[in-house]
Every structure is written in C-alpha cells, then in structure tokens.
Amino acid sequence: MTTPGRGLHGRVLDTLGPAITAGEYPPGSVLRTDELAQHFEVSRSVMREAVRVLESMHLVESRRRVGVTVRPKAEWNVYDPQVIRWRLAGADRPHQLRSLTVLRSAIEPVAAGLAAQHATAEQCAELTECALGMVANSRGHKLEQYLVHDIAFHRVVLTASGNEMFARLGDVVAEVLAGRTHHEVMFEDPDPAAVTLHVRVAEAVRAGDASRAEELTRQIAVGALQELDILAP
Amino acid sequence: MTTPGRGLHGRVLDTLGPAITAGEYPPGSVLRTDELAQHFEVSRSVMREAVRVLESMHLVESRRRVGVTVRPKAEWNVYDPQVIRWRLAGADRPHQLRSLTVLRSAIEPVAAGLAAQHATAEQCAELTECALGMVANSRGHKLEQYLVHDIAFHRVVLTASGNEMFARLGDVVAEVLAGRTHHEVMFEDPDPAAVTLHVRVAEAVRAGDASRAEELTRQIAVGALQELDILAP
DNA sequence: GTGACATATAAGTCTGACTTTTTGCGGCTG
DNA sequence: CAGCCGCAAAAAGTCAGACTTATATGTCAC
C-alpha cells in the first residue's frame, strides 16, 4: 500500500477522500477551503494541496467565488487505485467489488491468452510455482497462504501479457482477492475446481497455447462472477 | 477536453506532465521544487500543488532531503485520462495507442454483451441512430461526421453495459478513435464491413441477444487490432 | 570496518497580505 | 415590467518570507 502518513495533506485526504467517495458529501455539495482548513486544523496551503489532489481525481471541482463542489459519481476517476481503495473501504464496497469482478472477467482471459504468447521462461516458472503453492495450501485452513499465491498468480499473468494497461491491474486484482478472503464469502477451503483451473492455466501458458489459456481463465472468471451472484449458477 | 487554463499550476502541468511522460526526465531523475518554481516563474506554493498532482498520478515521488524523483513507468497511473492524453500527445503515442486498442478489444465485447441485457429502450434508440449516422457518412469523404457517430456509438455501448468501470472508458475510446482518424492510418472511407458490423451490433443489443452482440463486437475489435498490425491479417 | 554523532539540505508548514475572477444584487433605463 | 449595466462582496488564487522537520551523508572515535 502507499504509505499513509506522507505529509499533512495526506492525512487530510485519508479522511476527506473516503468521506466524499462514500457519498457523505453528495454531488453538488459545496465546500470551502478555509472552512475545511479550520476543520482539519491545517494551514490553507496544506488544504489547497489536498484539494488539488481530489481535483486531479475528478472527485471535486474548484471554482472561484463558488468553492469546491463535489462532482457526480459518473465523472470520478474510478480507475485511480486510491479511489478504488477508498470505495472498497466504504459503504459501496459490495457494488465496487462487483464492478471490479466484471472488469476482471473481461480482462484476465485476454491477458492470459497474451501471456501464453509472450511469457518468458522465468515468468512460466513463477506461474507454475504459484499454482503449486495454491495446491499446497488449498486444504486445511491455510487461507492466508493460499491468498498470497493466488494474488501472485494473477499478477504474473497480467504482467506476462506484455500490456502495460493490463499489468497495472495487478494491484486492483490483489485488492479484490484479498477482500474476498477477508470480508466476503469466506470458504472453509477454496473451491478445488478453481485450484485445478489455475494449474491448467499455468500449463497452457507454459505450452504457449493461447486459446486454451484464455478459455480456462474465462472459466475462473465465471466462477468469480458466480460467487457474487452476478451470473446465474 | 478539460479546460487547459485552470489556474497557474495547471499551466505548469501542461508542460511538466508531457515532459515526464515523454521520458524527457528518465526514471530516477531528481528535480527540486525550488528550481522548478524558478524555471516556470511561479511561486513555490503553485509549484508544490503541481508536484502534488503529479504525485497522485504516481509519476513522481517527493521525499525530504532528496527532492522530487521521477518514478519508473511501470508505476504510473496509466488509466488516468490526463496521463493518457499526455502520452498520446507525445513520443510513445504509437505504443500507447496499441495498449489502448488491446484494452478495448478485451472490454468492449463484454460491454456489448452486458448492454444487450441492460440497455434501456432509449439507449437502444440512440444506438441505432448512431449506427445509421455511421452508414450515412460512410461514403464520400465525410470522415469527421462519421467519427462523431462512431464515438457516440461506442460510448453508448459502454454506458449501457451498466458497469461504471466500463462506462468511464468512453473518453479513452473517443481519444483512440479520434486519434485514428486524425493522425494514424486515415482511410479514404471507412471499411464497409466495419460499418455493417456496427449496425448488426445495434440490432443484437436491441434484440437482447447478448452472445451475438458480444461476438459481433469482438469482430469489430479484431478489425481494429489488424489495422495496427497487432494481429496477423 | 563499524558505530554514533553532527551537519547540511531540501521538502514541509504556517501566516498574512494581496490579486483576480465571478456571481448576484440593485438600481437604472426603456 | 423586462432587460441591461455596473458595482460590490466572496471565495479561490497567488506570492513572499520565515520557520520546522526529516534525512542522507560525511566525520570521527573506537
């Protein structure tokens, strides 16, 4: 994670960001820099820096003689990892989790297909190692260890795809997977079918079989969607 | 586009952002706030605000006693529309265009499938209207008019998917399509096959046929990939 | 060589004064 | 009464300067 205490303005953002993304200040609300500065007991300069950051995330808009107005949700930079984290920590966590899982279901199969074409020998080795780690921890309440390998697996696939946009989703996927284990439906042990699929994806990538890697990953995605009742079972 | 002159710090970003994303300051480079402020002839407060924004995009990291260091490309928030615009305007425009097109090819088919399930009657009407507009302007050097309808079409599909993450890619797709018409391979007239596919997607969405909408959109995506020689023809 | 300590450096913070833009009101005019 | 113009207030924006804090690095003793 990004360090939380990277300056006073960061401390302010840790409170204000979640508040806005949680809808505590509904869209159209008008804030004033001076009042906020007083409320958070920081100087105006610090407050201005915080507002600038929120502005760059399209969460708010600052206009002269008006103040700092909260923008409608549809305009937010929802791909900003910081925004994602704030929303995952807040009230619309379930909604955010669904959006992200659907996004994953679109991206990861394609990424796996590309990985089969572009993965280096080293990446293939990492992948099988991750898959084996998942197998080894798939039974007997070793959920934390399992999670570590699961996250690593998906991160390697996204990176090996060779597409920078896909690669940057590694953190997001990590957040989703961690969330599932820690807050959502927490199975006693992971679904054995899912574990097997991961192993087979690793094999397909190693074999350079793009369409098989893609199809298998699609099946993993379907499983994730079903877990959230997005697809009929 | 976002208004260019939203304050002095914005003016600074318009120069500094493109410079960094273009690799003019290679990763690891160290800048100093005071020097930058002098160079851009602004006060330190303004410069600090600009640095904060760059920091929130993960383009730079500011540390005491060290300065403002440029982060490696792999850590940038490549989904930030501002960053995308800077990169599209700079040297690695071709590379960025490829990444984005691959991203589109993963997302849009899934989005079209969801649109077929969730689109309102109004959205269906908009979609057919866009498709007809594309047909009407597909012959006779009316590329600009064609582009407008093409952009609108894809934006409606992404919005109608009902997924906020997909919806927010509308601007990105618009940027890519506009780029293709204005800077890249500029055909005399658009490919008739592509135009037909758009019409058929509109029909499939209207009919609520998710898998057909998805498959047809996948074909559109394949065409876009072939244009950039990402797929063998 | 290793450890503790001193120092210089650059970011971080605060304050107060000033500027600029913009909204909304009020009065003027037709 | 409608419409227009211009004034005044409000809030963000900008600047300059003084001060604080963290920290990388060099120095010295052991």
| Residue A1 pLDDT grade (very low, low, confident, very high; cuts 50, 70, 90) | very low
For residue B31, give the 3-state DSSP assignment: strand
The reply to whether A103 and A50 lie within a common domain is no
The answer to whether residues A174 and A153 touch, using CB atoms and an 8 Å cutoff, is no
Residues in chain A: 233
The answer to whether residues A209 and A116 touch, using CB atoms and an 8 Å cutoff, is yes
CB pairs under 8 A between A and B: 96
What are the pLDDT digits (tens) for B183-199? 766 667 889 999 999 99
Distances, alpha carbon B19 to alpha carbons A82, B1, B25, B86, B92, in Å: 24, 19, 7, 9, 12
DSSP B108-166: HHHHHHHHHHH--HHHHHHHHHHHHHHHHTSSSS-HHHHHHHHHHHHHHHHHHT--HHH
Q: Is residue B19 part of a domain?
A: yes
The reply to whether B67 and B121 lie within a common domain is no
The reply to whether A101 and A215 lie within a common domain is yes
**Residue B39 structural domain:** 8-75
Q: Is residue A20 part of a domain?
A: yes
> What pLDDT, on a 0 to 100 scale, did the predictor assign at position A17?
98
Domain boundary among B75, B107, B127: B75
Q: Is the confidence at residue B28, as pLDDT, over 50?
A: yes
Distance (Å, whole) CA B171 – CA A75: 11
Q: Is residue B146 part of a domain?
A: yes
The reply to whether B113 and B222 lie within a common domain is yes
Output the distance from B63 CA to C6 C1' rounded to whole Å.
22
> What pLDDT, on a 0 to 100 scale, did the predictor assign at position B27?
97
The reply to whether B23 and B65 lie within a common domain is yes
The reply to whether B166 and B199 lie within a common domain is yes
Any idea what the CATH number is for the domain that residue B22 is in? 1.10.10.10
Residue B30's beta-bridge partner residues? Answer: B69
What are the pLDDT digits (tens) for A25-70? 999 999 999 999 999 999 999 999 999 999 999 999 999 999 999 9
For residue B197, give the 3-state DSSP assignment: helix
What are the pLDDT digits (tens) for A7-25? 999 999 999 999 999 999 9
With the CA atoms of A70, A74, A76 and A77 taken in that order, what torsion angle do they form, in degrees rounded to the nearest 10?
-170
> What pLDDT, on a 0 to 100 scale, did the predictor assign at position B182?
83
End-to-end CA distance of chain A: 34
The reply to whether A104 and A207 lie within a common domain is yes
Strands B60-63 vs A30-31: parallel, antiparallel or unpaired: unpaired
Distance (Å, whole) CA A184 – CA A172: 16
Angstroms from A61 CA to nearest CA on chain B: 10
Measuring from the CA of residue A55 to each C1', which nucleotide is nearest?
Answer: D12
Domain boundary among A50, A75, A100: A75
Nearest to B115 by CA among B205, B219, B201, B200: B205
Angstroms from A77 CA to nearest CA on chain B: 7
Structure tokens at A71: 């923008």
Output the distance from A194 CA to D2 C1' rounded to whole Å.
73
| Residue B84 pLDDT grade (very low, low, confident, very high; cuts 50, 70, 90) | very high
The values of phi and psi at residue B60, to 5°, are -135, 165
Q: Is residue B2 part of a domain?
A: no
Q: Is residue A80 part of a domain?
A: no
Q: Tell me how many helices (H) and strands (E) chain B has.
A: 11, 3
Q: Is residue A1 part of a domain?
A: no
Average pLDDT over residues A69-86: 97
Average pLDDT over residues A130-154: 95
φ/ψ region of B67 (left if φ > 0, alpha if ψ in -120 to 50, else beta) reads left
The reply to whether B183 and B148 lie within a common domain is yes
Q: How many domains is chain A partitioned into structurally? A: 2
The reply to whether A54 and A145 lie within a common domain is no
Distances, alpha carbon A113 to alpha carbons A84, A107, A207, B106, in Å: 26, 10, 11, 11
Output the distance from A32 CA to D8 C1' rounded to whole Å.
21
Distance (Å, whole) CA A223 – CA A186: 14
Nucleotides of strand D under 7 angstroms from a protein beta carbon: 9-17, 21-24
Structure tokens at A4: 């939380």
Q: Is the confidence at residue A2, as pLDDT, over 50?
A: no
> What pLDDT, on a 0 to 100 scale, did the predictor assign at position B231?
66
Which of A210-219, A224-233, B214-223 is predicted least confidently?
A224-233
The reply to whether B97 and B147 lie within a common domain is yes
Angstroms from B146 CA to nearest CA on chain A: 26
Domain boundary among A27, A45, A75: A75
- Residues of chain B with pLDDT > 90, as a percent, come to 85
Q: Is residue A3 part of a domain?
A: no
Measuring from the CA of residue B37 to each C1', which nucleotide is nearest?
Answer: D15
What are the pLDDT digits (tens) for B127-144? 999 999 999 999 988 899
How much is the mean pLDDT over chain B?
94
- Residues of chain A with pLDDT > 90, as a percent, come to 85
> What pLDDT, on a 0 to 100 scale, did the predictor assign at position B186?
66
Distance (Å, whole) CA A67 – CA A50: 14
The reply to whether A57 and A126 lie within a common domain is no
> What pLDDT, on a 0 to 100 scale, did the predictor assign at position A189?
84
The reply to whether B193 and B119 lie within a common domain is yes
What are the pLDDT digits (tens) for B169-181? 999 999 899 988 8
Q: Is residue A61 part of a domain?
A: yes
Nucleotides of strand C under 7 angstroms from a protein beta carbon: 8-16, 20-23
> What pLDDT, on a 0 to 100 scale, did the predictor assign at position B5?
67
| Residue B32 pLDDT grade (very low, low, confident, very high; cuts 50, 70, 90) | very high
Any idea what the CATH number is for the domain that residue A116 is in? 1.20.120.530
> What pLDDT, on a 0 to 100 scale, did the predictor assign at position B2?
47
* The 3-state secondary structure of A52-119, one letter per residue: HHHHHCCCEEEECCCEEEECCHHHCCCCCHHHHHHHHHCCCHHHHHHHHHHHHHHHHHHHHHHHHHHC
Q: Closest to B110 (Cβ–Cβ): which among A49, A105, A111? A: A105
Q: Is the confidence at residue B90, as pLDDT, over 60?
A: yes
